[in-house]
Amino acid sequence: MIVRRYTGEDDELVQHLTSQLNTPLDWPADGGLNTEHVVEIASAAVCDVSYNQAANGHLVDLFAALPLPGTPDGHEFWGALREAGGQASWNILPANAGGPFFNYLVNGNEAGIAGRVLSFLGELDQQQREAVAKVIGSALDHSTFVTRSRYLGELWLRDAETTAWHVLLASRRNHQTEDDRKRFLEAWSNA
């Protein structure tokens, strides 16, 4: 994600730094770096980090809405999901993924979970996808979401798919270099 944020004297972050930290706009005087540069750096860093962390957090929230493994409801749910999703479901089943599944997020390997989620969804045929949507929709708290079960499951699947894609896209960016971006921009301007 390439974020372009234009700053100037009226920018909120510039105003915050000048008023709260008492830094003049030209700070440090005659230095190569001034308050506006600091704002641009901070803004870019916050956008990158928040985008990646928001996608990861949302993926966890999606799974947190499902019955917990190790509980009676969880045992029934994950068994029904395995039956509905067939072999594809082994990508996300607690019995196969185990405790470390979400520890990957803590240890900075977000793409591991996202890849498993996308593998799960990509391996489902249409009939399995509909059956999985029904199982997930039936398990979601209807007092919170107030709509039909199957539709809730479809929403969960679409959201998980898009969120996992965002996680993979954000982690891909981490491995790109400045040269990659320059080649990209040059190729597109020459097209």
Closest CA to 152 of 62, 59, 58: 62
Whole-number pLDDT of residue 180 = 77
What average pLDDT does range 80-98 have in this prediction? 90
52 and 170 Cβ atoms separated by less than 8 Å: yes
Separation CA 143–CA 140 (nearest Å): 9
What average pLDDT does range 37-46 have in this prediction? 61
Separation CA 191–CA 175 (nearest Å): 25
Separation CA 2–CA 6 (nearest Å): 13
Whole-number pLDDT of residue 17 = 59
Tell me the pLDDT tens digit for each residue of 107-147.
Answer: 666 677 888 899 999 999 999 999 999 999 999 876 666 66
Tell me the pLDDT tens digit for each residue of 53-64.
Answer: 677 778 888 988
Residue 44 has pLDDT above 60, yes or no: no
- Separation of CA 88 from chain center: 21
